[in-house]
Amino acid sequence: METVMNQPKKKLHPHKFTLWVAIASILMMFAGLTSAFIVKSNLVGWSNIAIPKIFWVSTAVILVSSLTLQMALRAFRQREMNQYRMLMGLTFVLGCVFVVLQWIGFKGLWNQGVHFTGAAGAGQFLYIIFGLHALHVLGGIIALLVMFIKAFFGKVKLYSAVPVEVVATYWHFVDILWIYLLVFFLIIG
């Protein structure tokens, strides 16, 4: 005789499911763009570009921001709200610093003559791909700001970590996406 155990299936929260669908579509978009970059880079007259060193600093900043956001998530789960607020605020500031460093890096590229125009250069792809990443980072910063404001002014009836988990997953995603793009342009570009 077999004993059948009825364990409730763990269902994925609808917000998390929606996030994963969005991440999959974003990945497909960037895969298409980077594939087009590879194809175009094989054309005659293609000019490569040198990635500014400040992008390495911005990479360190976004990696630290992912760490602080993960620590904020842990603090939220442990109901250490003062630590959660501080870490969420720090993550938001680091996200803003990342954007400023990116702006400086792209301004440097522009001053080096890497422009959006030109039939055989990497500039078009660089600005489109990194610009789209910047839009996703901006969305993440807005989400961080909303979570930061809710940490101070929101009323917590249920300590559901789902909103914090969704924001953390998205932020880690844009972090990993940035690293992929940086490595891609270092190797291929």
Distance between CA 62 and CA 162 in Å, rounded? 22
Q: Of the given ranges (21-35, 72-86, 116-130), which has the lowest mean pLDDT?
A: 116-130
Q: What DSSP line would sit under 80-146, residue for residue?
A: -HHHHHHHHHHHHHHHHHHHHHHHHHHHHHHHTT--S--SSBSHHHHHHHHHHHHHHHHHHHHHHHH
pLDDT at 116: 64
Q: Using 50, 70 and 90 to split pLDDT, how confident is the model at 39?
A: confident
pLDDT at 4: 53
Predicted TM-score (pTM) above 0.85:
no
Using only C-alpha atoms, the chain has a radius of gyration, in whole angstroms, of: 20
Residue 32 pLDDT greater than 70, yes or no: yes
Residue 10 pLDDT greater than 70, yes or no: yes
**Which one is predicted more confidently, 52 or 74?**
74
Share the mean pLDDT of the chain: 84
Going along the chain from its start, the domains and CATH numbers come out as: 14-187 (1.20.120.80)
Q: Using 50, 70 and 90 to split pLDDT, how confident is the model at 23?
A: confident
Residue 172 pLDDT greater than 60, yes or no: yes
Grouping H, G, I as helix, E, B as strand and the rest as coil, residue 164 is: helix
pLDDT at 1: 47
For residue 92, the number of C-alpha atoms closer than 13 Å in the C-beta half-sphere is: 15
Residue 24 pLDDT greater than 70, yes or no: yes
